Structure 1
Amino acid sequence: MKTFDNIFTAIKPLFYLSKAFGLAPLSWIKEKDSGTVKPSSRSFDVYWGAVLFLCFLVNVPLEFYVMQFNNWNYPIKLNVVCCIYKISCHLSGMTSLLFISAFKRHSLPQILILISEVDQLLYKKPERLILYKETRSFISRELCILSIIFIPLLVTYFYFSPKEGLLRYFVLMIESIQNLSFMLMIVQFTNIILLLRQRYKCLNRWLDIHSNIWRDRIKSVGKDVPLLSDVETYVLSRYSLKYGRLKILEQRHIYSKLYDIVCLVNSYFGLPVFMLTFWMFVSVVFISYSCMLSIMLVISTGKELGEHVWAMTGLIWSFACVVLLLLIIAACHTTTEECGKSQILVEKLILRSGLSYETINELKFLSAQLKNMKVSFTAYGFFSLDLPFMYNFVGVICTYLLILAQFN
């Protein structure tokens, strides 16, 4: 039976799938001396990313060449939006792939190593084994669900799209690979964010347990008589003062490492997420508007709806894009909220009686550290990935659709 003894074995299903699309420019290397497995970037990973980048680059002029000979008979405004959509798709795919597989290829191994170091401090070995096994099971189920949803959409879009010759097949195939790479990048990003949330949640659980120990007292003959449990808590707290200070110091180191991971995640995924958001926005606007025109064309001309199934599939695809963006926002928002709880729990823990002066000072240092190390996930600093952004995103899409509908 395979042992899930590190974070690398837990994410292998996602790793191998991402590696095929050039989104995991690293390999597992086993050290001869210690026998530990560590991620490292190799030349082959960079070369494979370069091959995919060249395919995306060649596909740009080919797609615009094919578009000149289509017979869609769409209005000029839709052709303009279509060109913007194609440019955003290719630009997002090439930028993300080049950024991840070349410029920032060393960041992902650093993120995984730091998560592994945090787990060594935060969990005991039996707990880590269970955690990694559950993580791998969750990722496997997630990939299966996404495959069931998105692969039929891509196949339907590929089948019903207008195709003139082998060149159009090649263009559609590369476009489908780009769309799948976008999905995998979203899965990568959200899963790393969820891993961070799980670690923050574990830290908050420890703080919550120790900050909610209240001493119940029974009043008898005008005097406060402590209960037996209160006496035990007092004795244990006096006995473990040094342990408490050292434990808080260890917590500070863990929070510092988690903050470093957040900074690396923002640096590694920031620009790809920004380009992905731009692509999603243009995709939803273009596909939604083209679907409305297709429905109006079917109603006015009485043509078969099957001729425009590819456009209807696009409407489902645009809805799926909004759902995927909502998943990104939800993961970032809940992780930020979980980190924000830590400072409140630390302040509550300071109010607990029976703590030594050194322990209280260490807690104050931890509180100041959490104030200065605010966790926030951004799209390369352009905007924060939070709920207000999601409201603005949906509002801007509706506004653009209304503007396009006003022009004939």
Structure 2
Amino acid sequence: MLLSVKMKRVLREENFVSSLRPLYYVSRMLGLAPFTLKKNSVLKEIDTAWMFYTIIILISVLSCGVLSLMYRVEQSQLRATIVINECLMMFGGSLKAISSILLCVTLNGVKSREVISKVIKLDKALLCDSSATYRKALIFILVQVIVVHSYEAALFICDTWVWTHAVDNLSVWYFISGYPHRTLNMQTTLEFSDLVLLIRNRLQALNSRLSFMLRECVEPDFVVFSNVTRELVPRSAVMANEIPVTGVKSVKRTFIGSPQHVNLRQPLFKISQQRNIRSARELYDEMCDIRDLANSMYGFQLLLELGVTTAELTLSSYLMLATILGIQSVEINTIGQFISLMAAWQVQYAFKLIIITAPCQSATNEVENMAVLVQKLLLVRDFDQGTVAELQLFSQQLLQRKMKFTAFGFLSLDHSLLFTIVGGVTTFIVIAMQFKA
């Protein structure tokens, strides 16, 4: 009853900061919160108590990473290639978790508060119904956090149980020591994914505004053509009948010729959208600033995460196929459980790769749609010179400041990266299977 009352109170808080509470509470519990959120949705720097708690989490993750490496080095029940690959993955995963905590404490605090202030500024100028948007965001983040971390917990329990029954004399701490950094890395990936989805949603809102502007300006016009024909008279006949007239000024006459030689649309007045286009340019510039902050906050962690996840996906796929083909010796009564476990791990690895690349690709697609809308607006003839100039500047801005997300500047985060990883993993497994055969 008390929980439902608190949930109703949270849902009534219609502001952007309150919609981040589920993600913030999990991040704070894992030592990844770069700021302190007060009851009145005010952001403060991390106080001394939470700084001490973050240091404890950092020491715990570091200790688990060292223990995990020690257990794997001393393990003689598994193949040497598996042990070496697991050691490399544990080292990379622990390094990413430790770097995430250190960056949150040192650098990302100011950057995250700057991101939130920019988003609040964007929403005031862009969203028509901000309360409904924040309510949907809160529900989405709450469901996301519950589902993802519940799946992780169930996967960790099954992983420990299956491996201890499949391999003799394998300590439970062999697995438990490798789980803390996995949880932290998943939370960091969720934070980045939600931030990119936020940018994507604001780009969609801006595109909706530009689409409405285009529909308002492009309407059918009725153009009246004058069917004026002029007969060609020989100049000699005119000269022969010429009568000089003095004191009469020449009168300038304008003839409307065929429709091929005139502008078909002659509006009575010009439409001015200069202020709206200028506002759209400023909003897009703010989104690009948020993009830059996101790249600087999560670039290094994403680079490590992509490398570790790719290696884990490759190893789990190899182990599953090796078990099916009889290369890896596993007890008969645990083969089905082992294959199911490897498939569950592959689902998690694929989920990580998808939530890293798919939102970035979606945001890039929205910017491409925005460029198309700007070009269509440039074709509208009813705009005045000021509006046309702003549209031309907007087109140059979209060309120069692209919505591009990168992993520390080394890898572009889009669908092409996902296809490259899948192709590389498939090629490696095929070669490894042929080598073993």
Q: TM-score, normalised by structure 2?
A: 0.79
Task: Give, in angstroms, the shift of residue 69 of structure 1.
Answer: 4.9
Partner residue of 1:253?
A: 282
| Aligned mate of 1:267, from 296, 306, 331 | 296
Asked if the contact 2:64/2:180 (under 8 Å) is kept, the reply is no
Partner residue of 2:52?
A: 47
**SS in structure 2 opposite 1:106?**
helix
Asked if the contact 1:88/1:279 (under 8 Å) is kept, the reply is yes
**SS in structure 1 opposite 2:411?**
coil
Q: Mapping of 1:222-301 within 5 angstroms?
A: 241=272, 244-297=273-326
| Aligned mate of 2:218, from 200, 214, 232 | 214
Partner residue of 1:118?
A: 122
Task: Give, in angstroms, the shift of residue 287 of structure 1.
Answer: 2.1
Asked if the contact 1:294/1:308 (under 8 Å) is kept, the reply is no
Partner residue of 1:314?
A: 342
Name the one with the larger helix percent: 1
Partner residue of 1:186?
A: 189
Task: Give, in angstroms, the shift of residue 152 of structure 1.
Answer: 1.5
Q: Mapping of 1:24-173 within 5 angstroms?
A: 24-29=33-38, 37-70=42-75, 72=77, 74-124=78-128, 127-162=129-164, 168-170=171-173, 172-173=175-176
1 CA distance for matches of 2:101 and 2:359?
A: 23
1 CA distance for matches of 2:61 and 2:328?
A: 37
1 CA distance for matches of 2:333 and 2:106?
A: 45
The structure with more radius of gyration:
2
Partner residue of 1:196?
A: 199
Structure 2: unaligned runs, 5 residues or longer: 1-7, 228-266
Partner residue of 1:9?
A: 18
CA separation of 1:62/1:215 partners in 2, compared to 1, >3 Å: closer, same or farther? Answer: closer
2 CA distance for matches of 1:331 and 1:195?
A: 9
CA separation of 1:384/1:348 partners in 2, compared to 1, >3 Å: closer, same or farther? Answer: same
**Aligned sequence identity (%):** 21
Partner residue of 2:242?
A: none
Task: Provide the aligned length of Structure 1 versus Structure 2.
Answer: 385
Partner residue of 1:230?
A: none
2 CA distance for matches of 1:174 and 1:101?
A: 24
Task: Give, in angstroms, the shift of residue 26 of structure 1.
Answer: 0.9
CA separation of 1:376/1:219 partners in 2, compared to 1, >3 Å: closer, same or farther? Answer: closer
Task: Give, in angstroms, the shift of residue 222 of structure 1.
Answer: 6.0
CA deviation vs aligned residue, 1:32-84 (integer Å, no higher than 9, x gap): xxx87235444444433322221222223322332355452x33333322322
CA separation of 1:220/1:120 partners in 2, compared to 1, >3 Å: closer, same or farther? Answer: closer
| Aligned mate of 1:369, from 381, 387, 397 | 397
Letter in 1 for 2:372: I
Letter in 2 for 1:207: L
1 CA distance for matches of 2:210 and 2:319?
A: 53
1 CA distance for matches of 2:426 and 2:122?
A: 43
Asked if the contact 1:15/1:24 (under 8 Å) is kept, the reply is yes
CA deviation vs aligned residue, 1:116-165 (integer Å, no higher than 9, x gap): 111111124xx11111011111112222332443322122113333399x
Partner residue of 1:21?
A: 30
2 CA distance for matches of 1:168 and 1:104?
A: 37
1 CA distance for matches of 2:85 and 2:386?
A: 64
Asked if the contact 1:88/1:282 (under 8 Å) is kept, the reply is no
**SS in structure 2 opposite 1:130?**
helix
Q: TM-score, normalised by structure 1?
A: 0.84
